[in-house]
Amino acid sequence: SYELTQPPSVSVSPGQTARITCSGDALPKQFVYWYQQKSGQAPILVIYRDTERPSGIPERFSASTSGTTVTLTITGVQAEDEADYHCQAADNSGSDLVVFGGGTKLTVL
């Protein structure tokens, strides 16, 4: 089955830039979606269709693509950005509709 690979953890100091990657063989041909999940809360959508931000999501959240890797970038990280971040795409193998990455824990030092 198709897999999306994320690093288990990323750590940054407040005000720095955090970069969280999501890798998958088929990503050049499909959109990626990103969800933020704070501790004890439900996920929320922060990026859709690779680079679009839903209304209400701060401008410091952005995303870019390069080959088989998509990167979620948080510029000027704030303490409130500490959360798990999950990427999502279509299952390229065709056996399923949705696949999630394993999630990345962002720690703000």
Partner 1 sequence: EVQLVQSGAEVKKPGESLKISCKGSGYTFTSNWIAWVRQRPGKGLEWMGIIYPGDSDTRYSPSFQGQVTISADKSTSTAFLQWSSLRASDTAMYYCARSVAAGLTTYFDSWGQGTLVTVSS
98 binds partner 1 (CB under 8 A): yes
Q: Which of 20, 72, 77, 88 binds partner 1 (CB under 8 A)?
A: 88
97 binds partner 1 (CB under 8 A): yes
42 binds partner 1 (CB under 8 A): yes
Query: Is residue 5 classed as helix, strand or coil in its secondary structure?
Result: strand
- Residue 40 neighbours by CB under 8 Å, 6+ apart: none
Sheet holding 61-66, edge to edge: 18-23, 69-74, 61-66
Q: Which residues bind partner 1 (CB under 8 A)?
A: 30-31, 33, 35, 42-45, 48-49, 54, 86, 88-91, 95-103
